Structure 1
Amino acid sequence: MKPLAIFKQKLDALFATQSALMQQACYAIGIILSKAISLFLLPFVASRLGLIEFARLETVIALLNGAVIIVSFGMVNLLYRQAGKATNDADKRQIVAQLIGTALCMAILIIVSVFLSFSMTLPLINQITTLSATELLLCTLIISLEGVLGLCLAWLRMEEKAFLFLRSMLMRTLVYSALTVIGLSYDYGLTFLLFASLAASLLQAIELIAHQLKSTGIQFNKPSLWQTLRYGWPFVLSGLAMYASQGMEIVILAQYISPEQLAAYAIAIKFFLIAALCNQPYLLWWYARRMNVLSDASKLNSAGTGATLGVLIAMTTSLLIWFWSEWLITLLFDDAILEAMHFLPWLLAAGVLKQWGALYNLGCFSSENSRAQMYIELSTGAFCAMCFPILIALYGVHGALYTFVFSQFGRLIAYWIVSQRVLHIRYPLTLLTKGILGLVVILMIAILTSMMLPSFSGSDAMAFVAPLTVPLCASIASLVWIVKLGRPYANLL
């Protein structure tokens, strides 16, 4: 153990001396790799569970995500705000210690509350999705831990403990993945998946709380608890607005469509998330860069260029996912999942609109007042919360898809108008138009070629190669086109 401990100390020392860029890279790698590993597990999980149980898993995950937003009570945001305002290191550590203590108190309160109301809570949840008593217990423990874990991870970022953050995230993901593979190989089902998630969370919690005790200690403070309850609710509302715009619809869909169709929709969502994940490297770099650009009046044109390149990258990654999705879904999933191909274009379109809104809002970040962003996000969430139940009841999955596209289009328009009023920025519309036209031409050629290829694929070898040829050529063409467009601007950003 001693050589291992020395090795860990040397790694921590190495990362402590790295630049801010290296620190950000570690945070990005930890988050992206964790999501990527989970996505790689997806075909195995779907095949071992079956479509009905897989649909139930997605519904349970959606419920857990909503519950975590509520029970976390915006404590991570409070941590950043209060610790960021601390005048010295001792005060900062005391604030963090009190918030961690508050999070632990909240976790205990959640567990006790669910136990006391078990006879009412279980039948209520079973009206939404089938859940056993054991599964509800596991879900409660998972939810109660998430608030504590979120605070500990946020403190690691404030301490710039990038390697510990990376190690913690990967350990949790790898433990969960290993237990999932073992459990599903023996057909233990959804209950074991929840146990695997709890076990991985517990291991992460033990490591992070041990670090927290060394770093800040833990204090149980009644005024801190009341302060969290008093000031945390705006962050809860903001989180619920984001949940309403993406996540809540699965819970509603589960009441109106078949498990097979819900499973197909869930797979389409996963492919949509892969497209979003592919955008992260550029976005993480640009979000850190844009504030420096906006602070210099002579570089405002560069700000518009950087945002426009981000939009074109988002469109390109969505096209790449679309090109490969049919072949991958056919190869990796049950035939019933092919219906996901009908849902995916809508989701990708909504995702591109969402990225446009996130990138074409530069004016909002030129001011310290963030109320405009909050009102826009709350309005988007309220629109989705109202439209999802109505349109899903009328049109099923397509009702959810219509809501996605219209809500993100409205969000984009709102951000554009508000942002330009605060700070007028000239976006390179010629670059945007040229990029869109090039990608549309590539898409049309790919569609026409796909329609003609079956007549040429007579042999078994050609039947296998043909579906790969179009995505491969179209992907290369899209990447070459976007690189060609962006290269002249590389030195300006």
Structure 2
Amino acid sequence: MNSLKQSAYYAIGILMMKGVSLIMIPYITHKLSLAEYGSLEALVLLADIGTILFSFGIVDAMYRYIGTAEGAEKQQLISNCFTLSVIVCVVGGSLIGISLPWLIHTLPVTFESYQILLLLIPTMIDGAISIPLTLMRMNAMAKRFCILNVIKALVQAMMTFVLLEAGFGIDGVLISAACSSLLLLMCLLKYQWSQMGTFGYLGSSRLILSFGLPVLVGGASVYMINGLDRWFLASFVGVEQLAIYAVSAKFALILGLALQPYALWWFPNRVAILNGVNGKQECADKAVLGVNIAILLATAMILTAPSFVTLILPTTYQSASTLLVALLVIGVIKNAGDYLNLGCYSGDSSKAQMWIQGICATIAVIGYFVLVPIWGLLGVILVLTIAYTARLMMLYKASQFLEFLPYCHMAWLSALTISALAISTHWLITESMSAPFQFATGIIFSILTMAGFAKFSIIPLPLDVLRKFKLIRHSAI
């Protein structure tokens, strides 16, 4: 029940934090033109690059080493991680400030210098606040994690609304992001200090960086797979098509958002579970469960989201509903690669993952160069499918070689079978229906799919909750 309770808090926090921004998409797309929204998305992509670089793989090193450390050693490792993060953010921010004229000239979309600097504030801060937020997850402080992130999301949403109504446009979105990140940093500093005691310890830097740097390279490689696509669209197709693709991608992110409660509990604890009693079987079962949850959620979204997008977005974004289905399938493939690669994290190095991510990034870059100028959005979809499928296969092979786990493959094969049956049947029945009827029918089919997953124990029901429910019914009678 403890892990279930933790996941419930994470669910509330993540749904509020990310859900608020998703809810605002219809509002923002009506307030900004197609070109303005495409330009805003280009700025977000720039922030994504900075987030990867400023992270330096330190959070993954925390998962690996702090989870098994105790006492003074644990405090020193926490201090080392936070100190390194601050140093990286300050040095990285300074370098970006110095190279600002060159950066503005190089970007495929025109921006003002102050817009890049506004964007730099939350990007730098997010690198530092990721340390205390990760500590909260590792220390089972889901409730506090939830409250802080909800506050940040609400402040950012309210500021965005006020500033857009005041006519600030893209600048209003950037200002609200900077202010909300500063607020969250101030709220986290006291907790961070209580965990590390002192600031400035660097004695374990070599250990942390030896694990974190390969993760950083891997993260940069992932960005080349799922980030350069938008730069190529902006360069070869235009910001209008980028805007449509970006909206589809944001709705597809709901899949990752829905998976976060389980992921936020699982990823920080997987190494500790592996080292426990019957650890290999436990990890194998929980990893496959993560894959099956993704299949179920993606199926529910494929059944409902395209018609929902058609209903709520301006007519200029209608083609986003078709792209959304393809991106959800790609999201399932990516998620499977994330869950079935525990062996890459079981040792003292993550170099195997680094090489695999690098190979897939090379495949993606070549694909973008060749296919996007010719096929545009379709080219992007093909490249993403090939790259993430190759990533899944290589990560699985490498992981099993480094740390063999007894996965039950019949579970995810059954999940795919039920999902394919539900989607194809729904499509045949609703092909000629209007969007509202398609959406309503999709909800019914989603419920039936969930029932099928439960019937065949693809996703086990939480027995403690069921027992509690029966007790409540009994007492009511």
TM-score (norm 2): 0.83
Cα distance in 2 between the residues matched to 1:361 and 1:22: 26
Query: Which moves more between the two structures, 285-294 or 323-332?
Result: 285-294
The equivalences for 1:10-89 within 5 A come to: 19=2, 22-23=5-6, 25-80=8-63, 83=66, 88-89=71-72
Shift of residue 291 of structure 1? 7.2
1:457 alignment counterpart: none
Query: Which moves more between the two structures, 185-194 or 244-253?
Result: 244-253
Cα distance in 1 between the residues matched to 2:109 and 2:152: 27
Cα distance in 2 between the residues matched to 1:420 and 1:212: 36
The equivalences for 1:185-204 within 5 A come to: 185-204=165-184
Shift of residue 191 of structure 1? 0.7
Query: Which moves more between the two structures, 178-187 or 443-452?
Result: 443-452
Identity %: 25
1:177 alignment counterpart: 157
Query: Which moves more between the two structures, 109-118 or 314-323?
Result: 109-118
Q: Is residue 109 from structure 1 mapped to residue 94 from structure 2 by the alignment? A: no
Cα distance in 2 between the residues matched to 1:254 and 1:278: 29
1:347 alignment counterpart: 327
Query: Which moves more between the two structures, 155-164 or 255-264?
Result: 155-164
Cα distance in 2 between the residues matched to 1:369 and 1:418: 13
Structure 1's unaligned 5+ residue stretches are 1-17, 454-462
Greater RCO structure (CA 8 Å; 6+ sep): 2
Shift of residue 223 of structure 1? 7.5
2:430 alignment counterpart: 450
SS in 2 for 1:129: coil
1:131 alignment counterpart: 111
2:472 alignment counterpart: none
Query: Which moves more between the two structures, 275-284 or 49-58?
Result: 275-284
Cα distance in 1 between the residues matched to 2:181 and 2:20: 16
Larger Rg: 1
Query: Which of 301, 314, 322 pairs up with 1:321?
Result: 301
1:458 alignment counterpart: none
2:82 alignment counterpart: 100
Shift of residue 211 of structure 1? 3.5
Deviations 1:19-62 (A, max 9, x none): 56544543454334311222111111111112111111111111
2:456 alignment counterpart: 485
Q: Which amino acid aligns with 2:52?
A: I
SS in 1 for 2:51: helix
Q: Is residue 383 from structure 1 mapped to residue 366 from structure 2 by the alignment? A: no
Cα distance in 2 between the residues matched to 1:41 and 1:285: 27
SS in 2 for 1:52: helix
Query: Which moves more between the two structures, 311-320 or 75-84?
Result: 75-84
Cα distance in 1 between the residues matched to 2:400 and 2:167: 56
2:236 alignment counterpart: 256
The equivalences for 1:409-448 within 5 A come to: 409-421=389-401, 423=404, 425=406, 427-429=408-410, 432-448=412-428
Deviations 1:216-248 (A, max 9, x none): 455346888899888753332122122223233
Shift of residue 179 of structure 1? 0.3
Distance 1:467 1:403, change over 3 A: same
Distance 1:162 1:358, change over 3 A: closer
Shift of residue 160 of structure 1? 4.6
Distance 1:49 1:117, change over 3 A: same
Q: Is residue 333 from structure 1 mapped to residue 316 from structure 2 by the alignment? A: no
Cα distance in 2 between the residues matched to 1:212 and 1:306: 30
* Contact 1:363–1:425 (CA under 8 A) maintained in structure 2: no
1:120 alignment counterpart: 102
* Contact 1:360–1:415 (CA under 8 A) maintained in structure 2: yes
Query: Which of 258, 264, 267 pairs up with 2:247?
Result: 267
Query: Which of 196, 207, 215 pairs up with 1:235?
Result: 215
Distance 1:166 1:474, change over 3 A: closer
* Contact 1:295–1:366 (CA under 8 A) maintained in structure 2: no
Distance 1:53 1:225, change over 3 A: farther
Cα distance in 1 between the residues matched to 2:150 and 2:110: 31
Deviations 1:58-101 (A, max 9, x none): 11111111112113323334555565576633x54344345434
Cα distance in 1 between the residues matched to 2:405 and 2:209: 39
Query: Which of 438, 459, 472 pairs up with 2:443?
Result: 472
Q: Which amino acid aligns with 2:453?
A: I
Distance 1:176 1:253, change over 3 A: same
Deviations 1:261-312 (A, max 9, x none): 2111111112211123233445556665897589666984x87666555444
* Contact 2:295–2:415 (CA under 8 A) maintained in structure 1: no
SS in 2 for 1:327: helix
Distance 1:75 1:186, change over 3 A: same
The equivalences for 1:295-310 within 5 A come to: 300=281, 308=288, 310=290
Q: Which amino acid aligns with 1:347?
A: L
Cα distance in 2 between the residues matched to 1:100 and 1:24: 26
Distance 1:295 1:386, change over 3 A: farther
* Contact 2:50–2:124 (CA under 8 A) maintained in structure 1: no
Query: Which moves more between the two structures, 375-384 or 285-294?
Result: 285-294
Cα distance in 2 between the residues matched to 1:299 and 1:353: 23
Cα distance in 2 between the residues matched to 1:112 and 1:304: 44
Structure 2's unaligned 5+ residue stretches are 465-477
Distance 1:119 1:161, change over 3 A: same
Deviations 1:358-412 (A, max 9, x none): 4445666777775544433333233323333332233222221111111122223
Shift of residue 336 of structure 1? 1.6
Cα distance in 2 between the residues matched to 1:225 and 1:292: 26
**CA RMSD of superposed structures (Å):** 3.7
Distance 1:370 1:212, change over 3 A: closer
* Contact 2:258–2:297 (CA under 8 A) maintained in structure 1: yes
